[in-house]
């Protein structure tokens, strides 16, 4: 609310400057002889002085406060925008006058102010290093005007204008092309090239390949074959990429302490890999092409072996060009049961996915059939959001509990009534319910074209979820008693997420940065085994960023300054909504080079990738290279 009021005042004061400019134009254009023009311009200048000065001050104050409140009116804006405006509009007339005696300073000033206003807008949306660009352009413009005005004949003036403008376009075009080229990633590189050298602990260096579990005589064998297949989505048939012919792929079941051996056979025309999202496993089994392994080439096989440590709802998906491959259908659920399963629990696994046809599906269905549930028996609904965007839920019809987020079990979850909650992109939620006969629990997924999942008992009726407005807040859910927060961190990072125009890998577009950086530059979070670290994500952009860390669970400490007071929230994925600040902690207890990234896979493709790298771990794998490894 406060932010919106500030924004209104901010834009109003900007409008005052624009109107001042318009008024000057009218005065300059309309009124009689040059002398009269000058006189009225002066008069206007006198009249407008107070409001214009007030507008400046208001711009500065509101902009300043908004900056502290996470609006991305960045430091560049405050320093470059307003400062630039004052400098340009103040100096320009004097400069122009020095070049040519007959130039009317008020005309020069007008153009200078226009340029400066454009500059303010530019600074609002961009990052510091770009804020200089308008100065250069305005300089060019001023030079071209000065040259043209100094011409002695009409033809000369025309030639000079044409010449300087051609120069501007060629220079700008050249600059653009150069930036585009310079942004291209090398065709082959090692993540090691981007890590600061800090092997001060004298620790022995170990390669990712060596980070495996000791061999096990017994294992649960699973075959996953990636291949092209027709997938039916709400009556339409689309070409998809599948595991064993289906998307979602088969739901895999594992047990804590039981070795899994998954053989991936790649029958796709492109290389692929499997990442076990959320699973704490040895780094070499993490499935990140170019970091923890080479992408599995068409016709080749790869064996993943690991022993799950924590029960929970997980999913698996390709981590070779994932933005494309997950979109094509390469994902499925992985359920890890406790070592001694609680018997008598019914289970429903629901994988939601929005296809490129625009259809939201649950287990591939746009209209899933009601699920018959045995009354009086506890049921666990495991919901996986395999999308990049948050999945809005409306849940109701019968009392239920939230048993877990991702694989983090809730300590003493309380009973809940009808409510709304959004599952982060790539996030999971486990709901627990015991239905009485005639009762049913409904979960409505999505908003525009929702899909409703009905857990029904004999003769139950659908719930009306249209009036559900209460929003569930996980921060004070469950109980903290008997639990412990992760210890004080050895180091903390504060990472601003910003947005703006930019160049990335040969493309020009609107991109996000983390701490001003993009893949492969980091940020690189270098960690030391055994210590706890804290990361605060400050989202100054206007989009959701589901931040995900591989190979670890992290604890959500606070959101927007509100501390978690309920059950500790141990997750592998957290949505950082627009203008939100989220603080997490993790303990570095699983050596490796671990990706951490925004799980909006398009954002990751555009460079929103971090690394949590243990100081003594190296990787022999290359991004790019002859295996065409593409981790994001
Ligand atoms: Cu679900 Cu890096 O991935
Ligand atoms: Cu993002």
Bridge partners for 80 per DSSP = none
Say yes or no: CB of residue 277 within 6 Å of ligand 1: yes
Say yes or no: CB of residue 599 within 6 Å of ligand 1: yes
Say yes or no: CB of residue 275 within 6 Å of ligand 1: yes
Ligand 1 geometric centre to CA of 356 (Å): 20
- Is there a contact between 93 and 108 (Cβ–Cβ < 8 Å)? yes
| The pLDDT value given to residue 52 | 82
Q: Which atom of ligand 1 is nearest to the CA of 632?
A: 2
Residue 233's alpha-carbon distances to 209, 387, 445, in angstroms, are: 40, 16, 16
3-state SS string for 231-271: EEECCEEEEEEEECCECCCCCEEEECCCCEEEEEEECCCCC
| The pLDDT value given to residue 75 | 53
Nearest to 354 by CA among 332, 319, 329, 333: 329
Q: Is the pLDDT of residue 619 over 70?
A: yes
- The strands making up 573-576's β-sheet, listed across from edge to edge, are 524-527, 609-614, 593-598, 545-549, 573-576
Q: Is the pLDDT of residue 81 over 70?
A: no
Ligand 1 geometric centre to CA of 134 (Å): 39
Q: For residues 577-614, b (16+ Cβ closer than 10 Å) or e, as one string? A: bebbbbbbbbbbebbbbbbbbbbbbebbbbbbbbbbbb
Bridge pairing between strands 301-306 and 260-266: antiparallel
For residues 19 and 65, what is the distance between their CA atoms, to the nearest angstrom?
24
| Each residue's pLDDT tens digit, 358-380 | 999 999 999 999 999 999 999 99
Q: Is the pLDDT of residue 35 over 80?
A: no
Bridge partners for 536 per DSSP = 494, 583
User: Residue written as tokens 């080229």?
Assistant: 181
Question: Rounded mean pLDDT of 223-243?
Answer: 94
Say yes or no: CB of residue 603 within 6 Å of ligand 1: no
| The pLDDT value given to residue 44 | 79
Omega prior to 256 cis, within 30 of 0? no
Phi, psi of 343 (to 5 degrees): -80, 155
Q: Is the pLDDT of residue 500 over 90?
A: no
| Nearest protein Cα to ligand 1, atom 1 | 277
Ligand that comes closest to the CA of residue 388: 2
Nearest to 306 by CA among 296, 320, 292: 292
Bridge pairing between strands 220-233 and 260-266: parallel
3-class DSSP state for residue 194?
helix
Higher pLDDT, 13 or 605: 605
| Nearest protein Cα to ligand 1, atom 3 | 277
Task: Read off the pLDDT band of 54 (50, 70, 90).
Answer: confident
Q: Which atom of ligand 1 is nearest to the CA of 604?
A: 2
Question: Rounded mean pLDDT of 538-558?
Answer: 95
364: left (phi over 0), alpha (psi -120 to 50) or beta: left
Percent helix, percent strand, percent coil in the chain, to nearest 5 = 30, 30, 40
- Is there a contact between 623 and 608 (Cβ–Cβ < 8 Å)? no
Question: Rounded mean pLDDT of 133-153?
Answer: 77
For the chain, what is the largest distance between any 2 Cα atoms, rounded to a whole number of angstroms? 99
Based on C-alpha coordinates, what's the Rg of the chain? 30
Ligand 1 geometric centre to CA of 277 (Å): 6
Question: Rounded mean pLDDT of 315-328?
Answer: 98
Task: Read off the pLDDT band of 73 (50, 70, 90).
Answer: low
Q: Which atom of ligand 1 is nearest to the CA of 573?
A: 1
Ligand that comes closest to the CA of residue 385: 1
Q: Is the pLDDT of residue 104 over 90?
A: no
Q: Which atom of ligand 1 is nearest to the CA of 277?
A: 1
Higher pLDDT, 49 or 309: 309
Q: Which atom of ligand 1 is nearest to the CA of 278?
A: 1
Bridge partners for 554 per DSSP = 571
| The pLDDT value given to residue 630 | 97
Residue 615, token pair as written in the block? 């100081």
3-class DSSP state for residue 226?
strand
| The pLDDT value given to residue 370 | 97
Q: What is the model's pTM?
A: 0.85
Q: Is the pLDDT of residue 200 over 60?
A: no
| The pLDDT value given to residue 69 | 64
Ligand 2 geometric centre to CA of 544 (Å): 6
| The pLDDT value given to residue 5 | 81
Residue 467, token pair as written in the block? 């009036």
Query: In the predicted model, what is the mean pLDDT of the chain?
Result: 89
Question: Rounded mean pLDDT of 59-84?
Answer: 63
Q: 169 CB contacts (<8 Å, ≥6 apart)?
A: none
Ligand 2 geometric centre to CA of 506 (Å): 20
Ligand 2 geometric centre to CA of 561 (Å): 21
Higher pLDDT, 81 or 602: 602
Task: Read off the pLDDT band of 123 (50, 70, 90).
Answer: low
Ligand 2 geometric centre to CA of 480 (Å): 30
| The pLDDT value given to residue 511 | 92
- The DSSP 8-state label assigned to residue 97 in this structure reads H
Say yes or no: CB of residue 548 within 6 Å of ligand 1: yes
3-class DSSP state for residue 50?
helix
User: Residue written as tokens 């990636």?
Assistant: 226
Q: 245 CB contacts (<8 Å, ≥6 apart)?
A: 225, 227, 229
Ligand that comes closest to the CA of residue 542: 2
Ligand 1 geometric centre to CA of 254 (Å): 19
Say yes or no: CB of residue 428 within 6 Å of ligand 1: no
Ligand 2 geometric centre to CA of 352 (Å): 19
Task: Read off the pLDDT band of 341 (50, 70, 90).
Answer: confident
Q: pLDDT exceeding 90 applies to what percent of the chain?
A: 66
| Each residue's pLDDT tens digit, 390-424 | 999 999 999 999 999 999 999 999 999 999 999 99
Task: Read off the pLDDT band of 437 (50, 70, 90).
Answer: very high
- E strands, 424-572, where? 428-434, 441-445, 451-456, 491-504, 507-514, 524-527, 532-539, 545-549, 554-559, 562-563, 570-571
Q: Is the pLDDT of residue 164 over 90?
A: no
| The pLDDT value given to residue 83 | 62
Ligand 2 geometric centre to CA of 269 (Å): 29
For residues 161 and 168, what is the distance between their CA atoms, to the nearest angstrom?
11
Q: Which atom of ligand 1 is nearest to the CA of 288?
A: 2
Question: Rounded mean pLDDT of 503-508?
Answer: 94
Task: Read off the pLDDT band of 86 (50, 70, 90).
Answer: low
Ligand 1 geometric centre to CA of 573 (Å): 9
Ligand that comes closest to the CA of residue 572: 1
- Is there a contact between 441 and 394 (Cβ–Cβ < 8 Å)? no
Bridge pairing between strands 391-396 and 419-423: antiparallel
Q: 351 CB contacts (<8 Å, ≥6 apart)?
A: 248, 251, 315, 331, 332, 333, 362, 363, 384, 386
Question: Rounded mean pLDDT of 560-579?
Answer: 96
For residues 98 and 223, what is the distance between their CA atoms, to the nearest angstrom?
79
Ligand that comes closest to the CA of residue 550: 1
Residue 165's alpha-carbon distances to 136, 142, 173, in angstroms, are: 14, 11, 12
Cβ-based neighbour number of residue 343 at 10 Å: 5
For residues 409 and 431, what is the distance between their CA atoms, to the nearest angstrom?
11
Which parts of 152-237 fold into alpha helices (H)? 154-182
- Is there a contact between 455 and 435 (Cβ–Cβ < 8 Å)? yes
Q: For residues 367-400, b (16+ Cβ closer than 10 Å) or e, as one string? A: ebeebebeeeebbbbbbbbbbbbbbebbbbbbbb
Q: pLDDT exceeding 70 applies to what percent of the chain?
A: 89
| The pLDDT value given to residue 127 | 59
Q: Is the pLDDT of residue 352 over 60?
A: yes
Bridge partners for 570 per DSSP = 555
Residue 56's alpha-carbon distances to 18, 111, 116, 364, 416, in angstroms, are: 12, 18, 12, 56, 51
Ligand that comes closest to the CA of residue 499: 2
């Amino acid at each position: 609310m406060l932010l919106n009021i500030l924004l209104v005042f901010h834009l109003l004061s900007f409008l005052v400057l624009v109107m001042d400019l318009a008024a000057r134009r009218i005065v300059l254009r309309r009124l009689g002889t040059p002398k009269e023009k000058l006189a009225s311009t002066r008069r206007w200048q006198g009249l407008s002085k107070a409001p214009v000065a007030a507008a400046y001050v208001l711009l500065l104050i509101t902009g300043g406060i908004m900056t502290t409140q996470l609006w991305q009116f960045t430091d560049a804006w405050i320093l470059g925008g307003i400062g630039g405006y004052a400098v340009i509009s103040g100096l320009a007339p004097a400069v122009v006058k020095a070049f040519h005696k007959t130039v009317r300073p008020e005309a020069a000033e007008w153009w200078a102010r226009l340029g400066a206003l454009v500059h303010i807008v530019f600074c609002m949306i961009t990052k510091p290093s770009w804020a200089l660009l308008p100065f250069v352009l305005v300089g060019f413009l001023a030079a071209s005007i000065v040259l043209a005005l100094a011409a002695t004949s009409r033809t000369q003036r025309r030639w000079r204008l044409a010449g300087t403008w051609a120069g501007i376009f060629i220079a700008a075009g050249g600059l653009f092309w150069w930036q585009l080229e310079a942004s291209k990633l090398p065709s082959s590189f090692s993540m090691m090239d981007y890590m600061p050298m800090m092997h001060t602990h004298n620790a022995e260096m170990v390669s990712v390949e060596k980070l495996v579990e000791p061999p096990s005589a017994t294992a649960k064998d699973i075959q996953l074959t990636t291949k092209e297949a027709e997938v039916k989505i709400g009556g339409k048939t689309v070409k998809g990429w599948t595991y064993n012919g289906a998307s979602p792929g088969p739901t895999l079941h594992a047990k804590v302490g039981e070795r899994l051996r998954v053989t991936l056979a790649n029958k796709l025309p492109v290389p692929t890999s499997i990442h076990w999202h959320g699973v704490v496993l040895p780094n070499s089994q993490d499935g990140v092409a170019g970091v923890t392994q080479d992408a599995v080439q068409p016709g080749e096989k790869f064996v993943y072996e690991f022993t799950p440590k924590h029960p929970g709802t997980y999913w698996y998906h390709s981590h070779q060009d994932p933005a494309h491959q997950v979109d094509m259908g390469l994902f499925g659920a992985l359920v890890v049961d406790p070592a001694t399963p609680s018997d008598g629990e019914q289970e429903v696994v629901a994988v939601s996915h929005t296809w490129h046809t625009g259809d939201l599906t649950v287990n591939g269905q746009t209209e899933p059939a009601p699920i018959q549930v045995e009354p009086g028996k506890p049921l666990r609904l495991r919901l996986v959001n395999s999308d990049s965007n948050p999945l809005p839920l409306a849940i109701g019809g019968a009392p239920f509990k939230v048993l877990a987020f991702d694989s983090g079990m809730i300590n003493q979850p309380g009973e809940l009534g009808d409510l709304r909650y959004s599952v982060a992109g790539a996030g999971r939620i486990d709901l627990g319910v015991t239905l009485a006969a005639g009762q049913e629990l409904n979960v409505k997924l999505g908003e525009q074209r929702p899909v409703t999942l009905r857990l029904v008992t004999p003769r139950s009726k659908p719930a009306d979820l249209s009036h559900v407005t209460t929003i569930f807040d996980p921060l004070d859910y469950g109980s903290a008693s008997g639990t412990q927060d992760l210890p004080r961190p050895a180091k903390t990072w504060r990472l601003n997420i910003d947005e703006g125009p930019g160049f990335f890998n040969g493309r020009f577009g609107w991109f996000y940065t983390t701490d001003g950086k993009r893949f492969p530059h980091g940020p690189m979070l270098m960690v030391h085994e055994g210590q706890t670290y804290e990361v605060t994500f400050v989202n100054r952009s206007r989009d959701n960023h589901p931040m995900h860390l591989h190979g670890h669970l992290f604890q959500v400490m606070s959101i927007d300054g509100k501390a978690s007071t309920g059950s500790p929230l141990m997750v592998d994925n957290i949505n950082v909504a627009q203008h939100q600040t989220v603080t997490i902690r993790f303990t570095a207890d699983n050596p490796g080079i671990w990706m951490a990234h925004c799980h909006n896979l398009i954002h990751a493709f555009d460079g929103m990738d971090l690394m949590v790298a243990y100081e003594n771990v190296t990787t022999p794998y290359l991004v790019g290279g002859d295996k065409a490894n593409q981790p994001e």
